[in-house]
Amino acid sequence: MNDLVLKNAIPAMTSGDIEKVRALEERVLELPQEKIATHHIFHAGMYSRTIKMPAGTVLTGALIKRATMLIVCGEVTVYIGDKTLELSGYFVLPASGNRKQAFLAKSDTYLTMMFATEAKTVAEAEAEFTDEAGILFSRKEGYENIVTVTGE
């Protein structure tokens, strides 16, 4: 791993970089969409959400307003502002708030975002990390949500 992966792997993005992702998002939405399931877990004061991006998929995320951890397993290019990360393998990355990434999966890739929270529902957790919850897969009709609440 290089220093970028170890320190501030995914920094906050400038408004200009976020607008670039929004422009890409408009184009991507014109293409056929994958129905990607979201796996949610509430455990020990933490919330995590995991998706599997099939190889060849382009995904633009919602604007994330808070710091989280991002776990990546697979081979993916991640646009993080003034540069891209080329990731192949398994990574646990600190990710700052005020970011809207774009991802290109080169192989089937799992993405897990997690953060500490007092939220008790998926809707509460989503409202905590983004003001763009309406564009999340978990809010799309016909998309699968698997929710686990351990009570611990």
This model's pTM is above 0.85: yes
Q: Are 116 and 29 in contact (CB under 8 A)?
A: no
Strand 145-149 to 109-116 pairing: unpaired
Q: 73: domain CATH number? A: 2.60.120.10
Query: How many separate domains does the chain show?
Result: 1
Secondary structure of the chain as H, E, C letters? CCHHHHCCCECCCCHHHHHHHHHHHHHHCCCCCCCCCEEEEEECCEEEEEEEECCCCEEECCCECCCEEEEEEEEEEEECCCCEEEEEEEEEEEECCCECCEEEECCCEEEEEEEECCCCCHHHHHHHHECCHHHCHHHCCCCCEEEEECCC
- Structural domain boundaries, residue 125: 3-149
Q: What is the pLDDT along the chain (152 residues), one digit of tens a residue?
A: 444 454 558 899 999 999 999 999 999 888 888 899 999 999 999 999 999 999 999 999 899 999 999 999 999 999 988 889 999 999 999 999 999 999 999 999 999 999 999 999 999 999 999 999 988 889 988 899 999 999 88
